Amino acid sequence: MTDISSKTLLTEGAIWKKMILFALPLFFGNLFQQLYNTADSLIVGNFLGSNALAAVTSSGSLIFLLVGFFNGIAIGAGVVIARYYGARNIEMLHKAIHTTVGFGIVSGVLLTIFGIWFTPHVLIWMKTPSDVLPESITYFRIYFLGSLAFVLYNNFVGILQSVGDSRHPLYYLIFSSVVNIVLDLLFVGVFHLGVGSAAAATVISQFVSAALCLYHLTRKCPAEYRVSLRRIHLNRFMLRQIIRNGLPAGIQNSVISIANVVIQSNINRFGKIAVAGCGSYSKIEGFAFLPVTCFSMALTTFVSQNLGAGKYDRVKKGARFGLTCGALLSELIGVAIYFFGPSLVALFNSDPSVIAYGVKQAHIVTLFYFLLAFSHCMAGLLRGAGKSSVPMLVMLICWCVIRVSYTTVIVRFFPVIESVLWAYPLTWSLSSVAFGCYYLKSDLYHIHKNGS
């Protein structure tokens, strides 16, 4: 045991100030991440047309299906690291960090191999329109060539955020986002190399961001959580902790993605215009997801560190603040998208039919964003408390079993796209009720209520 600088600790100081200062870089980092992801669609849609746009946007759920599992494990690693950091246990902190990096290397290699092989099979299963399929396969296969960089980057960012450093990931993400956009414009707009070059730009940018994070962790970080390449290994005890905390989140991510793949396959039935319109909307929705992500991640780190330090009342006050901010900010963005939907979708493609589909989805789901935010923030809170199996079960039931069952049944009786799109707000509502009931009955709520 030894002392750690209080600069990045979330166990001391005003709760609202610490959480906001931690969440703001996460917000801007996720904003640039979204710009990073949206650049392909904007540039491809404007330079290469609706077919290419449909190829790029048709299967975002495919990406999350394959990378979501490993991201979940990274969340578990972050919980373990934050707990040891909050407890100021340097020896175990080092073991957790180096095991996380080692696991990321193995995971990235496996994901590369599996993603390249799995892509065409899933795209065919999703009933991707035949005139879009070849370009979709090209795009996603090249995208998965960057899996190692993507997984390692998320692990590196997870390490930094777990010790309270959300600023440096922001700096590196801004730089790599600029690289991605410049390369997109160069490859697609100037050289007209097609959708594969847009994926290549993303892969290059991912390697840039991962390299910058690795340089910081090995050269610039304080000794307490600095990475040494020679110490990277898989410690059995630490790996078991990481998997125990992260496996439920990984399973949750993958299972939800499978459900969303089913939803996307139903959207694909309505043709490439529907795919392009709903795909364009999904890129816009990513911006509404920003406060969801940043406060969910902030809650995980805040709760982990403070539980490690034994500051239980602080955990509850921080939980209330994070849940409120996440839901409120998400709904404000949702209202803006509701009213400005036509102009926003038109940024991707000016075809009136494409715009109509995107606006249709916006008008169905945006006013329910506060439920999406509440569910994700509750999941982040419970993961930080070491209860990661609870959000896994809630989302498995609500966002997978019920969502898929609803979609499978409803399209038989009401074969219109609106029936498919209502699956999202309906299942967000159910998960929010389930999380709310669990929270009110949990020991976390009663610790806060009793002030002990």
Summary count for the chain: helices (H), strands (E): 18, 0
Please spell the DSSP secondary structure of 112-133, one letter per residue. Answer: HHHHHHHHHHHHHHTT--TTTH
| Cα 408 from chain centre | 26
Instruction: Return d(Cα 185, Cα 43) in angstroms, integer.
Output: 7
Report yes or no on 276 lying in a domain.
yes
Report yes or no on 10 lying in a domain.
no
- Per the structure, the complete domain to which residue 424 belongs is given by 15-450
Residues 6+ apart with CB under 8 A from 431: 371, 375, 394, 395, 398, 399
b/e code 337-366 from CB counts within 10 Å (16+ = b) = bbeebeebbbbbbebeebbebbbbbbebbb
Tokens 């296969």 correspond to what residue?
141
Report yes or no on 2 lying in a domain.
no
Of the CA atoms within 13 Å of residue 255, those in its CB half-sphere come to: 19
Report yes or no on 3 lying in a domain.
no
Report yes or no on 8 lying in a domain.
no
* Closest-CA residue to 248 (of 442, 440, 71): 71
Report yes or no on 332 lying in a domain.
yes
> pLDDT tens track of the chain, all 452 residues?
444 455 567 778 788 888 888 888 878 877 777 776 676 677 877 777 767 777 676 556 666 666 778 878 888 888 889 888 888 888 999 999 999 999 999 999 998 998 888 888 878 877 777 777 888 888 888 988 989 998 999 899 889 988 888 888 888 888 888 898 899 889 988 888 888 888 899 899 989 999 999 999 999 888 888 999 999 999 999 999 888 888 887 887 777 777 777 887 888 888 888 888 888 888 788 777 888 888 888 898 888 888 888 888 888 888 889 999 989 999 999 999 999 989 988 887 788 888 899 999 999 999 999 999 999 999 989 988 888 889 989 988 998 899 989 988 998 888 888 999 999 999 999 999 999 999 888 766 555 444 43
Number of structural domains the chain divides into: 1
Report yes or no on 446 lying in a domain.
yes
Report yes or no on 7 lying in a domain.
no
Instruction: Return d(Cα 424, Cα 362) in angstroms, integer.
Output: 11
| Cβ–Cβ under 8 Å, residues 197 and 187 | yes
